Structure 1
């Protein structure tokens, strides 16, 4: 069974392109934190060791267009999909690739500006103002 579930943050803006046949393709990288205790994470950071893995992801069709239009660098995203490996020739050397092909996704958190709630008509409410 080839099934992948990831939760991570986008490392940069997603790249939306269209194939020659007109199919949407979006590529992005998710930074997925490693499962480390607080102490081991602090120790790894102190020693300049990685605390996250950077995983290449690809979405096609409607998923590709939706992701490209609604997510950006720093957003947290949950994805499910499957691993696909491949290879290509570059400057006489064989390059091997491993990507997660996205089947489904869930927006978990987006970074909003401080005024985003006010712009959408939402204002903070003091509980003392609520009549019930």
Structure 2
């Protein structure tokens, strides 16, 4: 089932397999409404998996607490364990959109290095323009 855009916060450091081809992680996705009794937003947790180059991108750029936006597909991952049928779902990740810088993702002021140079005359469209976007402001 195609989900489209999924926005969440990574709940634990992504775990790459020994071949470097598959990565698994979990995300918390805030519900659109507040709990009537507590007045707080609740979150739902989803297991996610990515393959190939997408797995490499996640491994190199995301960690516990990182905000992530991606397209994905919901898949059943049902199996039998000790004679019992176990039902679970996971999101297969594709098409990642970076929504925060590495420095912001790590919560510090370390310089972010890049392998390509940006010409000094090119305007920085991601510079601080005084606008703050909170996850609650996103339309999904």
TM over 0.5: yes
**Matching of residues 30-49 of structure 1 within 5 Å:** 30-37=27-34, 40=35, 43-45=38-40
For 2:69 and 2:2, locate their aligned partners in 1 and report how far apart those are by CA, in whole Å.
17
Name 1:97's counterpart in structure 2: 88
Q: What runs of 5+ residues in structure 1 fail to find an aligned partner?
A: 121-132
Name 2:45's counterpart in structure 1: 54
For 2:37 and 2:97, locate their aligned partners in 1 and report how far apart those are by CA, in whole Å.
29
For 1:92 and 1:111, locate their aligned partners in 2 and report how far apart those are by CA, in whole Å.
43
Asked if the contact 1:5–1:80 (Cα under 8 Å) also holds between the matched residues in 2, the reply is yes
Residues 42, 4 of structure 1: CA spacing in aligned structure 2 closer, same or farther, 3 A cutoff?
A: farther
Question: What's the Cα RMSD here?
Answer: 2.4
Name 1:125's counterpart in structure 2: none
Asked if the contact 1:4–1:100 (Cα under 8 Å) also holds between the matched residues in 2, the reply is no
Give the alignment's TM-score, normalised by structure 2. 0.68
Specify which structure has the higher proportion of strand. 1
Residues 70, 86 of structure 1: CA spacing in aligned structure 2 closer, same or farther, 3 A cutoff?
A: same
Number of matched pairs: 109
Q: What runs of 5+ residues in structure 2 fail to find an aligned partner?
A: 114-140
* Structure of higher RCO (CA pairs closer than 8 Å, 6+ residues apart): 1
How far is 1:56 from its partner? 1.0
Give the alignment's TM-score, normalised by structure 1. 0.71
Larger Rg over CA atoms = 1
Asked if the contact 2:75–2:90 (Cα under 8 Å) also holds between the matched residues in 1, the reply is yes
Name 2:131's counterpart in structure 1: none
